[in-house]
A and B are shown apart, each in its own frame.
Chain A
Amino acid sequence: MALLAPIFFSRWGRAAFYVLAAVPAASFAWLLTQYGAVYSATGINPVLDVPWIPALGVNLTFRMDALAWLMSLLVLGVGALVLAYCARYFKTDDAGLGGFGAQLLAFAGVMFGLVTADNLILLFVFWELTTVLSYLLIGHARTRIAARRAALQALVVTTFGGLAMLVGLIMVGEGAGTYSISGVLARAPQLVAATGTPGTVLDIGVALVLVGAVTKSALLPFHFWLPGAMAAPTPVSAYLHAAAMVKAGIYLVARLAPGFSGTAHWQLLVTVLGLATMLVGGWRALRQHDLKLILAYGTVSQLGFLMVVVGLGSREAALAGMAMVLAHGLFKAALFLVVGIIDHQSGTRDIRELSGVFRSAPALGVVALIGAASMAGLPPLAGFVAKESVFAAFEAHARYGSAGHVAGFTVLALMVIGSILTFAYSARFLWGGFARKRPAPGGAAAPVADTPFKSVDWLFLGAPALLSLLTVAYGAYPQLAERWIAPYSAPFPANDPHPQHLLLWHGVTLPLVLSAVVVGGGLALFLLRRRFESLQARMPALVDLERLYRQAIVVLDLVAIWVTGRTQRGSLFFYLAVILGTAIAAVSAVLATTGPDWLGRHYTVDGGTPFQVIAGVVIVVGALAAARASKRFMAVLMVSVTGYGVALIFALQGAPDLALTQMLVETIVLVAFVLAMRSLPPGLRERTRGSHKLLRVILGAAFGAVMVVVGVVAMGSRIATPVSLGLPALAYTGGGGLNVVNVTLVDIRAWDTFGEISVLAIAATGVASLIFVRGRGQRLARAETVETGSIGRVGVPDGSPSPVAELARRFAVVPGNPWLVAGRTLAPERRSIIIEVVTRLVFHSIMVLSIYLLLAGHNGTGGGFAGGLVAGLALTIRYLAGGRFELAEATRVSAGTLLGLGLAAAALTALAPLFLGGEVFQSAILSFDLPVFGHVKFVTSTLFDIGVYLVVVGLVIDVLRSLGSEIDQHEEDGIGDITLIEDDEPLEVGR
């Protein structure tokens, strides 16, 4: 329903609030029909149970007992009224009204879920949902910085409490062995009686849950978010911050009190924080000038009061507490709505600006009077009945309770003081909102002018009026409320030997006397308000917790920036050093702890064959030279030396495929390096020095040493029979090939290879896109369109050319193409007759060789990789001999097409067997006779190998076209000749 809300708003404007209000109203009606089921004589409550995560004990369980029913009544009833009220409060053209309505309605639903949930985790989910929705609702005026800030503050504070609560709930739930709330409460007596660790865990868990309740219900020291949240639109304040959300904490305490009010920290937390909150809230309410803030601090005060009462855990207090919750919900929501009307009609809530409102709107004044009187605890209203019963409950607690007389009466006395403050701020509210103000003494003699006030529409007034009516009715007939509450309060132990009831008239008792004291004291405080205000102004300000909170957030920012600055330094060196250091340390630690295990093994050390030793020495020398080389190409060459050396080792170890592939790759990489780096400066500058260099040496040496040890240990661990012993036979029988490595690649582990060629295709595309930037570049023009000898001309000096140059020129300007298709396009000084001739001679042979390798690979050395690389080499030779037009002539098919074809061929071999009833990548062996070739045995996985071949060729072509042809073009266009900027230290270098 909430999801549909924006549609209603776009259609009906603000009247859509009535539609929304109908939802909780209908639920409210349904709730009334459930009365019989909830209060049945059997004592069995309606339960709805839907398994959600049964393995973790998290179920969508809802239980409708007396407490849930009462809270739902409040939540849904006030929700419906507030939504209806919104229809007059907002203007149709207010921005974001649809979302607002949806959030408010969703909130009502979530709150209903919260009070009926019978699973701790479910309760928590609803709890956090109310937090999030409250954040959205407080921040409704998202263009106002005050609203955004208040919303975030409320979110942070209540989420903090929520997280503490989650931990607490899990501790309680795990301790009890169930997450069902009714189950936990049923087991509570055993749990509370437990000693030792389980007992401590329970105590801490319950205390953490209380932290959640305390933050949500805005108790000290977290009370400051509630006045801040008054940045919300007033209907939201009325609902969330008076009647519903802040009651969630009270509800939670009420829910758990039957089981856990006896745990270690419960009474201390609840009573001390509650009373302190009550006094601080009342005190501060008397300093406010904003009507809404008076109510907000009043709410803080009342929440503290409620917490003490509900948390006490006696039968009388439970009855009184719930009576007070109901009464408070009624009068506080009504008063907030009244403030909303005042603000709406007059444009301010500041009591220094308001004057004479009662005369403009007497009906509103009466509604407010009833609410405020109920808040102050005047007979014959709901607030009076509830407060009387609270006093009676605590009198009984002080007389008969376990805490003793002194503590009991102290609590009672503090409550009376709190109530006096409540009376005083109620009066202040009424006076501030409605009275005609007299000028300040010594000021102008004329009375303050009445505030302009538009007349109030009865629909607008309807919601608060109805609430006030209920307040009166409740006061007149409290027995009904008592009947509703009784099933909840009955299980508590009673303090008073005589049963207590909710009544308007008990006779002359201590509570009545106390009420009289409250009225007298409150009246005095109100009449002496000017003197009291100056007293407050003279008092040193108590700790401003909100300011403290904001400073704490600033400190948090400071820490965050500091930590970020220390860890995210933006220096790759730093990150790598940390990663490598960790790797070294972690592996060393594992090696050290498992030392006895692997040290004790028997190793036969094998020095390797003499040739391997020679190759090893070459590699080591090459690597060292590469590290020390100060010329770019020298370093590249030295790395190539190590590569070729490794190829030699492969060959000697019995891996001809690897050796072949490695040789080919090294060669092509060398060419690619030269092509890519020709425009870079020849020198390689050392950029790290001093301690960094030392660190590099240490890290490198340590890492190398660790890896050697790891290798030794790994070898020592090779004691089981290798899985690969079965591979040769499998390759022959299953894969139809003799070359085990090749069959492994194209058949046994074809998925790996398929992934690999995908990477190749991506890398090739990446290379092309980095150099061409846009697309793979247009296809190069055919060589015919290019003037002879025009490409790559080097400036010829004036004067008579040397005879050699003359000869070269004569050779180069022959219009025909004796050797290469596009050789003539090059400038004479770029051409070499020998290379052209050799290319002409060997190109086709090499291509034939590559196809041979491709096809023979299944049974002998070779395969798609090797074949593709050889073909790539052949193309490289063409390019080197004849320039980029020669390459274009040689490869009329675009690299992208080749890559796509290759992947398609591979995919085909993967998928085709599926249609023939086989598995992915299953291969088949086809034997047939061909006229020339004789008997041919064709294995379908060869198709896959062809795919690999095409992809590799495509990759090489992309490399040649990008790093070769395109960079040629850049050079000729002069892109490469831009004046070099010395890039030495443009940045602050530091780490």
Chain B
Amino acid sequence: MSVNLTLLLVMGVLYAIGIYLLLERSLTRVLLALMLLANATNLLLLATGGYAGLAPIFGKDIPATAYNDPLPQAFILTSIVISFAVTAFMLSLIYRSWLLSRADHIQDDREDRRVARQELFDAEEDSEIAIEVSDFHENNQPAGSREMIPEVTLKKAAVHHAVKEGGE
């Protein structure tokens, strides 16, 4: 099977540069990266269609093998137009992000970082609570005068103990 080296090499370069730009923080560059990647993928599809051939406009006397494969072409056509729609959408995202936060770069997710730094001490699970001696809670004495179940901590977590739950 013949391999069109030009197509593949160009595709490889587009992929490489696309990935390089994709890993950038600037949203604009990420969008450009997506466009390059789309082009690269279209080339890959085209390459898998095989040899160059006639435009697939049906003629009674032309053998089917003379055409360039029409199936990848249909896929690519779909891909081109969808990429256009996605690009337009990304553009409005970038504009909106700029309008709201004056930023066009990808920020780290603060929530994720907050999760990673959260305290080990969970009042629901680990705080000190009073032992109850009646199902009828109005009868249970106030927390201070009862025996307590001590809180659970690890030495490492001792620093986090600023939070203390009072009573229930």
Contacts and interface: CB of A to CB of B under 8 A. Distances in A.
A343 B136 contact: yes
B83 A724 contact: no
Q: Is the interface of B mostly helix, strand, loop or mixed?
A: helix
Contact of B18 (A613, A636, A700, A983): A700
Interface string B82-112: 1111111101111110110111111111111
A554 B5 contact: no
Contact of B64 (A547, A569, A725, A983): A725
A347 B89 contact: no
8 contacts: A148-B124, A149-B124, A558-B156, A688-B24, A692-B23, A711-B44, A714-B47, A740-B70
B48 A623 contact: no
B11 A696 contact: no
Interface stretch (A511-519, A760-768, A796-804): A760-768
Interface string A718-754: 1100111111110110000111110011000100110
A438 B13 CA distance: 94
Contact of B74 (A145, A607, A714, A741): A741
A350 interface: yes
Given A606-B2, A699-B23, A763-B86, A704 B15 contact: yes
Given A669-B87, A724-B70, A983-B103, A711 B77 contact: no
Given A605-B5, A741-B73, A865-B81, A700 B50 contact: no
A967 B89 CA distance: 15
Contact of A672 (B22, B88, B104, B134): B88
A676 interface: yes
Given A711-B48, A719-B1, A568 B112 contact: yes
Nearest to B146: A350
Given A145-B168, A290-B133, A609 B104 contact: no
Interface string B1-34: 1111111111111111111111111101100100
A661 to B, nearest CB: 5
B56 A728 contact: yes
Given A145-B127, A145-B165, A572-B108, 9 more contacts: A607-B5, A608-B7, A620-B13, A624-B17, A676-B95, A684-B26, A718-B1, A729-B58, A981-B102
A340 interface: yes
Interface string A656-692: 1110011001001100110011011000111110001
A606 B47 CA distance: 12
A655 interface: yes
A623 B88 contact: no
Contacts of A144: 132, 137, 168
How many residues of A sit at the interface, in one of the four size bands?
A: 35 or more
Contacts of B71: 722-724, 727, 744
A865 B77 contact: yes
A626 B115 contact: no
B78 A756 contact: yes
Interface of B: 1-26, 28-29, 32, 35-36, 39-40, 42-44, 46-59, 62, 64-65, 67-71, 73-74, 76-78, 80-89, 91-96, 98-99, 101-113, 115-118, 120, 122, 124-127, 129-137, 139, 149, 152-154, 156-157, 165, 168
A534 B39 CA distance: 84
Nearest to A653: B52
B116 A561 contact: yes
Interface in A507-566: 547, 550-551, 553-555, 557-558, 561, 564-565
A861 interface: yes
Contacts of B85: 759-760, 763-764, 955
Given A553-B125, A613-B6, A626 B81 contact: no
A829 to B, nearest CB: 25
A987 B57 contact: no
A707 B45 CA distance: 12
A696 B23 contact: yes
Contacts of B113: 569-570, 988
B81 A661 contact: yes
A845 B108 CA distance: 50
Contacts of A269: none
Contacts of A284: none
A231 B132 CA distance: 8
Contact of B70 (A573, A616, A741): A741
Contacts of B168: 143-146
Given A627-B21, A654-B54, A860-B57, A987 B107 contact: yes
B84 A665 contact: yes
Contacts of B124: 145, 148-149
Contacts of B76: 650, 655, 658
B112 A569 contact: yes
B116 A714 contact: no
B53 A141 contact: no
B44 A707 contact: yes
A712 B1 CA distance: 10
Contacts of A727: 56, 64, 70-71
B69 A724 contact: yes
Nearest to B68: A654
A967 B95 contact: yes
A106 interface: no
A649 B120 CA distance: 59
Interface string A636-660: 1001001100100110111111100
A715 interface: yes
A577 interface: yes
B29 A711 contact: no
Contacts of B157: 554, 558
Nearest to B109: A570
Given A661-B77, A700-B20, A770 B108 contact: no
A350 B135 CA distance: 12
A962 B88 CA distance: 10
A770 B7 contact: no
B110 to A, nearest CB: 7
Contacts of A724: 69-71
Given A558-B154, A649-B7, A716-B1, A642 B39 contact: yes
Nearest to A606: B2
A649 B70 contact: no
Nearest to A611: B6
A635 B28 contact: yes
Contact of B1 (A715, A760, A962): A715
A906 to B, nearest CB: 14
A392 interface: no
B4 A707 contact: no
B81 A756 contact: yes
Given A149-B125, A741-B56, A343 B134 contact: yes
Contacts of A976: 99
